[in-house]
Structure 1
Amino acid sequence: MLVSSRARRRRGAIGAAVTAATTLIIGLTATPALAAAAGPESGTTYYVSVDGAPSADGRSASSAFRTIQQCADRAQPGDTCLIGSGTYRETVTPPRSGTAADPIVFRAAPGATVVVSGAERLSGFAPVLQKDLDRIAATDPYAAESLFSRAVADRKIFSVAADLGSAGAEAQVFTDGAMDIEASYPFPGTDLLDPVVERAQAGSADATIVDPALTRPAGYWDGARALTSYWYITTTGTVASSAVGSVTLTSAPVCVHKVVPTDTWYRLSGKIGELGHPGSYFYDAQAKRLYVYSDDNPNRHRIEAKARDLAFDLTTASNVTVEGIGLFASTIRTGDASTGVTLDGIDGRYLSHYWDVTRGTTNCGENVTRGVADTGIVLKGTGNTIRNSHLQYSAGNGVSLGGHGNTAVDNTISDVDYAGTYAAAVAVQGHSQTVTHNTMQRSGRSGINLQWNGVAGTTAGPDRIAFNDISGYATLSLDTAAIYSCCSARMEGTRIDHNVLHDPNPRAGGVYPFGMSGIYADNGMSDLQIDNNVGWGNPEGTVELNGLGSGSHDNAVYNNTGGMTLFYVREPGQSTGTKIYNNIGPIKGIDRATEGGLVLSNNLTDGDPLFVDAAAHDYRLQPGSPARNAAIPLPGVNDGSTDPVPSLGAFPYGAPAWEAGARR
């Protein structure tokens, strides 16, 4: 089989909904598990415990520091902070770096479950009574007859004074480790990567959403926040006026500049009247009060709100190792000068959160790119690594690689980009980055968003994207791919190889899933080598080239299985230097493609390739396959066959089948 058994087991183990049991990493024992330091570190081992004393020196388990920051303040190159079980509500900022030979190490003690949390607990919730409803209705009369008023009558609404910031939509609230959802219409449910949606209907004007399902009274939605999504554009705005059956925004959705009937889906929030569903909340930013819907007293549960973005702030640190640590409602970030940072065995949940994707612009700009460079685990600088980690839930990325020469390897990343922007499981920027042997599942847009940016003072080099298993992408976006790259850049020989790319999950209804492919070089990408990739379930095939823009030049597309689509490569000069050799599967747009300058040769585009078991996605070749002894020999690409001439497709006949995905 092509996908590793480890990846298959991990896929089955990952919860699909935001309500998955994240409590496993939060419900920790208060008794720290501390043991002797493990590893080759030559310096001093310091101890940290949630039961430590403020005046402790950290030199023994019985005199442990109470916070990780206390240990960070003391640690010198070569020292280790050994951390006992518990939840540490802090941002750790090391004041100094380690060295390449003697890093500073932050490590969970053997057998310990350690979480660094960006959330703070809330308590003292009181039931919302009729007198409270009357007070609210005095300034918001629509609250008097609403889902909220009915829930108040049923004793399902509770509130507490809380300062969660000035932007109500940006607040993040949790109950027993699972993220609550802001009160909205339609209520999306608790899985934001598979939300319930409403679509604008026929007759919409440029800035008006017309939908008979909008049954609230005229004026109800005035001033509400509107999230709209169309094709690959998600944006937020404000409702200027509303009537039964329609809402009109202050301006048309950015980028699209109109509401597109049946294809634009929307969500409206910012009205307390919509607070009437289990798992939901409403935050009044002006009154600094949080309201939650709960079937019983919320004081019996762990209610938390996000208070900090970072668990570890490594923006001025180098040669630091963080090992075996859990993150909750927070993340880790390095800086432009960071080097030698290693993140190993990180178990991160709810890494980044945001909803505002308008950002005050009038064109695409930050609306599609918000969160691409600064969310998820952010590795800038050079020579930094994240490995063997499990990352789940983020409005933005799972991992962002900036700078150059950084690595993401053997990670499992799922349920990311629930804000539906150009974020990804792994956002690759800068150059010379390595992304290999990762399993990525369920992303609002792409598994890997591959860009190229020069880094001052460095010589550009190729990225390597290989042996990744990516599935369940495009849940909120179209015109995308498991591995997506854009626009009009020369990629310095970047190689995308031996990836398994399958089963996108575009939203039902609306536009045709345009551009849905395994690997998409969009709008004039050049100097890519795309070889030995396998895909299934992709409407546009395993590989898609779009020459619009500066043209799709000097690309090498070799030995892929699963077909491809060629866009805008048919006019003279649009695809010079591109070679498409030894692939298996139908090629859409093959007619006139050579007029653009590309060369097609030795591809099996029709007939039965005689795979071992295509239904089970085993794309090795049977003995009688016409793909045997049929390829142009390409050293380093299609070596390994036991035949005298190499095979077409991603699996050389007779060679051991390669596997993709995280190896642990």
Structure 2
Amino acid sequence: MLDSARVRRRRGAITAVVTAAAALSLVATASPGLAAPLPADATGTSYYVSADGPAGADGRSPDTAFRTIQQCADVAQPGDTCLIGSGTYRETVTPARSGTADAPIVFRAAPGAKVVVSGAERLTGFTPVGQNDLAAVVAADPFAADSLFSRAVADRKIFSVPADLGPAGAEAQVFTDGAMDIEASYPFPGTDLLDPVVERAKAGSAGATIVDPALTRPAGYWNGARALTSYWYITTTGTVASSAVGSVTLTTAPVCVHKVVPTDTWYRLSGKIGELGHPGSYFYDAQAKRLYVYSDDNPNRHRIEAKARDLAFDLTSASHVRVEGVGLFASTIRTGGTSTGVTLDGIDGRYLSHYWDVTRGTTNCGENVTRGVADTGIVLKGTGNTIRNSTLRFSAGNGVSLGGYGNTAVDNAISDVDYAGTYAAGVAVQGHSQTVMHNTMQRSGRSGINLQWNGVAGTTTGPDRIAYNDISGYATLSLDTAAIYSCCSARMEGTRIDHNVLHDPNPRPGGVYPFGMSGIYADNGMSDLQIDNNVGWGNPEGTVELNGLGSGSHDNAVYNNTGGMTLFYVREPGQSTGTKIYNNIGPIKGIDRATEGGLVLSNNLLDGDPLFVDAAAHDYRLQAGSPARNAAIPLPGVNDGSTDPVPSLGAFQYGAPAWQAGVRP
């Protein structure tokens, strides 16, 4: 069975630093094990599935195993188990019926089996692109005659195959030997989209023109190309209307607050076959329905695949279903608004979602900010659904999206998400009463957790709980964000954000607008949050950031955090009434006149040496001589546990066992 990813963490002091390899490792045994004993919790019939099962089998024994998981899903009744043998299953599994609370339907990898449900289909029959083929391409695009592509053809590095990958070339997704290839583009970003090579505008305007001497292609070359631009907190896509040596002009200016700002705006141009000249790249001609790949050897010797399906398991009409120990490739799992009691356990998901068309015709912040937030990654809607013990890597959108209410994400290792650079996140939290605990999140284009607030018709709203998560490497593609980001002008019903470790954002180098980047950011008038016992380092704006712009930052409780904070737009009368900032350790930016807005500051250690055990190693427990001891306002349920008569300031009570964040062993 695929073992769930577990992060091994140091004991004693705060155990905050986790290597990507440890956080995201997945162990699988080699034996397919279909004939192994049935699980002890099986309450109904157990069916068998094997990738090489005989046609017409009934699934009742290993020798008569179903060939597809869907065949088992068609017959499984409440209490039944589909025991799945090793193999790659290229299908979308849709249960014919739901289980019950006492008798769920279970889809489980057999003991020792490595199961992958794939949304991709294999492509074969690639042929080398020769001079005659090149002439046909040049007839359609004369600029391809003297290009990276034509030189790669001469070097016998380009191969092609007929393929229908949909009507939009930029939305295609191609893989070689399990790794995603990159669309031909300038600049070629490399194969790590969370750490891409970028080119920045050297001049421009609030209009639609990018000026850059690095744009050396001849006039007209980029006409009709797709343009991705990113500035501040907005990534947009558009079309090039005209181009000259040293500049491109888009059909419309980037939307929202986005604009072309010298040295800050970075861009990427694609949709031209002439740029196909780098290992690991492809070009898809949607009109001719032909895929071109750059390869140092014959691609038929490799496993070339293209995404064909979004869903591995379609649970939008299902409840009380369990999926255990199953791998996902180029696909995901989605529940629906009426789903309840769905549990996903030990999922190994890679390439959960993919898209590049961000703006999609909007003329304001709208969809270009939010595309993918509610419907990408593992999507849990409905109520009472859980994903746990899972490893999720690579997504243009989220790792997990929680909609509805009362859903849970716990003990998951999530990385390399939001490579499209929108408001997607490691975990996107919408709806209400959601729980996100003990997850380790690394490398996100924007935030680790994007915390929004939506009522659900017919339900009584309740607080979310965001706790004991370890989040690092956020803000790789976007600024004005946080490891845990929330916005805008919402009352959060007492949502608690506590005991999180938030550290080391990784913004793109070279820009001059380093705004934002905090551990927890309550942006543009968020109210009724409790933010306590969080630790952060490497965050330019500190562990906590409050921005009262808009409706004001009211009734927030900011207690016992370590790592400093920033206060914005909370100084005018009435702008921050009811907000209490107690017992924190670290400097506070914007503290001058802050109390004029109505907030109360008390018992905070703003400067001087707190005498941590080992700050250099991120051990923020207190030494015996620390001035933070016996200095806090007692807050039951927040700063309990000190061996002193009075609680300590900061996130660790003196003498109490140190809490730990991230995935539990």
**TM-score, normalised via structure 2 length:** 0.97
Aligned position for 1:586: 587
State the Cα distance separating 1:495 from its structure 2 match. Answer: 0.2
Match of 2:552 in 1: 551
CA deviation digits over 1:64-105, x for unaligned, max 9? 000000000010000000000000000000010000000000
Matches within 5 A, 1:130-279: 130-204=131-205, 206-256=207-257, 258-279=259-280
**Residues 78 and 102, structure 1, Cα contact 8 Å, conserved in 2:** yes
Query: Cα distance 1:3–1:518, how it changes in 2: closer, same or farther (>3 A)?
Result: farther
CA distance in 2, matches of 1:410, 1:79: 27
> 1:509 offset after TM fit, Å?
1.4
1:657–1:10 distance in 2 versus 1, CA, 3 Å: closer
Q: Which residue of 2 aligns with 1:36?
A: 37
Does 2:21 align with 1:13?
yes
Maintained 8 Å contact 2:33/2:112: no
Amino acid at match of 2:394: Y
CA gap 1:355/1:513 in 2 versus in 1, 3 angstroms: same
In structure 2, stretches of 5+ residues that fail to align are 1-6
**Offset at residue 257 of structure 1 (A):** 5.2
Alignment of 1:116-515 (within 5 A): 116-204=117-205, 206-256=207-257, 258-515=259-516
Shift of 1:204: 4.2
TM-score normalised to the size of structure 1? 0.97
For 1:589 and 1:141, locate their aligned partners in 2 and report how far apart those are by CA, in whole Å. Answer: 58
TM-superposition CA deviations, 1:189-232 (whole Å, max 9, x none)? 00000000111112446100000000000000000000000011
Q: Residue 16 of structure 2 contacts residue 470 of structure 2 at CA under 8 Å; is this kept in 1? A: no
Q: Is the contact made by 2:482 and 2:519 (CA closer than 8 Å) also made in structure 1?
A: yes
Matched residue type, 1:536:
W
User: 1:520 corresponds to which residue?
Assistant: 521
- Name the residue aligned to 1:658: 659
**Cα deviation 1:240-281 (Å, max 9, x = unaligned):** 000000000000111135311111100000000000000000
2:482 and 2:139 map into 1 onto residues whose CA distance is 50
Distance change in 2, residues 1:8/1:280 (3 Å):
farther
8 Å CA contact retained: 1:580, 1:600: yes
Note if contact 2:23-2:440 (Cα within 8 Å) is conserved in structure 1: no
Which amino acid in structure 2 is aligned with residue 149 of structure 1? Answer: S
What SS does the corresponding residue of 1:348 show, helix, strand or coil?
A: strand
Structure 1 counterpart of 2:466, one-letter code: I
1:55 aligns with 56
User: Do the aligned partners of 1:518 and 1:543 also contact (CA within 8 Å) in 2?
Assistant: yes
Taking only the aligned residue pairs, the percentage that are identical comes to 87
Query: What is the Cα deviation at residue 9 of structure 1?
Result: 8.5
Aligned to 2:115: 114
Distance 1:336 1:366 in 2: 21
SS at 1:660 equivalent: coil
Aligned residues: 656
- 1:274-328 per-residue CA deviation (whole Å, 9 max, x = no partner) reads 0000000000000000000000000000000000000000000000000000000
What's the secondary structure of 1:545's corresponding residue? strand
Partner of 2:69: 68
Contact 1:34-1:112 at 8 Å conserved across structures: no
CA shift in 2, pair 1:34/1:196, >3 Å: farther
How much has 1:4 moved relative to structure 2? 3.2
Deviation at 1:12, TM superposition (A): 3.7
Give yes or no for contact 1:584–1:649 (8 Å, CA) kept in 2.
yes
Deviation at 1:33, TM superposition (A): 3.9
8 A Cα contact 1:46 1:82, kept in partner: yes
Q: Give the residue type in structure 1 aligned to 2:10.
A: S
Structure 2 distance, partners of 1:81, 1:243, is 60
Question: 1:426-453: per-residue Cα shift (whole Å, max 9, x none)?
Answer: 0000000000000000000000000010
CA distance in 2, matches of 1:62, 1:520: 57
Distance 2:110 2:657 in 1: 40
Amino acid at match of 2:21: A
Q: Classify the secondary structure of the residue corresponding to 2:73.
A: helix
- Structure 1 match to 2:4: none
1:97 aligns to 2:98 (yes or no): yes
What is the CA-CA distance between 1:31 and the residue it aligns to? 6.4
- Mark the CA change 1:60 to 1:505 in structure 2 (over 3 Å): closer, same or farther: same
Question: SS at 1:116's partner residue?
Answer: strand
How many angstroms apart in 1 are the aligned matches of 2:506 and 2:35? 44
Q: Quote the offset at 1:3 in angstroms.
A: 9.5
1:4 maps to what in 2? Answer: 9
Measured after TM superposition, the shift of residue 533 of structure 1 is 0.1
Q: 1:34 and 1:390, CA in 2 relative to 1: closer, same or farther beyond 3 A?
A: farther
3-state SS of paired residue (1:268) = strand
- 2: CA distance between counterparts of 1:477 and 1:9? 23
Distance 1:12 1:476 in 2: 19
Question: Are the aligned partners of 1:554 and 1:579 in contact in 2 as well (CA < 8 Å)?
Answer: yes
Give the Cα separation in 1 of the matches to 2:109 and 2:263.
Answer: 51
User: Residues 10 and 71 from structure 1, CA distance in 2 versus in 1: closer, same or farther, beyond 3 angstroms?
Assistant: farther
Q: Tell me the distance in 1 between the aligned counterparts of 2:195 and 2:84.
A: 37
